[in-house]
A and B are shown apart, each in its own frame.
Chain A
Amino acid sequence: MTLVITEIASWLLIVAGSFFTVVGALGLLRMPDVFTRMHAASVTDTLGVGFLILGMVMQAGFSLVTLKLLILMALFFFIAPVVTHALARACLHEGVEPLLAEDRRPRNKRPVGRDSGRRP
């Protein structure tokens, strides 16, 4: 009975992890600028990886493999924010500006005088 419950739970976790992995990659492809793409990539790095590793932990049982999986998850939870932060700082340093909502509208529908509000 416990075996069946573990099996079902790990199925659900791994399917959820697969779903979020694909969603994050889709966001990385479809988002309009580099900052929103970072946001989409972090979905893969947190939810996708977290669910997949938890599902694998359920399959592995209590052993050294579980410890390695948890080390891998901790690694991901530290690496993803560090890389995102470094990337965002490098982008701003190089002068890549975030795309604002009014930039996506057609030019004649933009509110007048909004250019003064943008950072130089």
Chain B
Amino acid sequence: MFAVAALAILVALALVVVRALKGPTVFDRVLAGNSVGSLAIMLLAVFGFLTGRPEFLDIGITYGLLNLISTLAVLKFFRHGDLAHDVDEEHSS
């Protein structure tokens, strides 16, 4: 049954990667990148169960936290132009 789940996740990954390559705006690509991260976490978890080594879940949790931070950092970069943006600057300018 985990082979079925792994196959489904791989198919979903292929579709999402197509969207990341096509994406008209940069936000489509960010969204697709975030989805690739989520699917990679699920693939790690399923692969751990498939091979009988659930220790892969630790890598999955770490990857999830990194995924959140990286997506927010990219979005902040596109919104403000730099990562160390001060809130006061936005009001003054």
Contacts and interface: CB of A to CB of B under 8 A. Distances in A.
A29 B19 contact: yes
Interface string A37-73: 1100100110011001101100110000100110110
A21 B18 CA distance: 15
B46 A34 contact: no
Contacts of A83: 34, 68, 71-72
Given A14-B5, A24-B12, A72 B34 contact: no
B61 interface: yes
B60 A18 contact: no
B79 to A, nearest CB: 5
Interface in B41-88: 41-42, 45-46, 49, 54, 57-58, 60-61, 64-65, 67-68, 71-72, 75, 78-79
A33 to B, nearest CB: 9
The secondary structure that dominates the A interface is helix
Given A37-B31, A56-B49, A87 B75 contact: yes
Contact of B57 (A29, A37, A68, A79): A68
Interface residues of A, number: 47
The secondary structure that dominates the B interface is helix
Contact of A28 (B1, B19, B30): B19
Nearest to B60: A72
Nearest to B44: A72
A48 B11 CA distance: 13
A81 to B, nearest CB: 11
A65 B15 CA distance: 30
A37 B19 contact: yes
B40 to A, nearest CB: 12
Interface of B: 1-2, 4-5, 7-9, 11-13, 15-16, 18-19, 25, 27-28, 30-32, 34-35, 38-39, 41-42, 45-46, 49, 54, 57-58, 60-61, 64-65, 67-68, 71-72, 75, 78-79
Given A29-B19, A83-B72, 4 more contacts: A19-B8, A21-B8, A25-B12, A72-B64
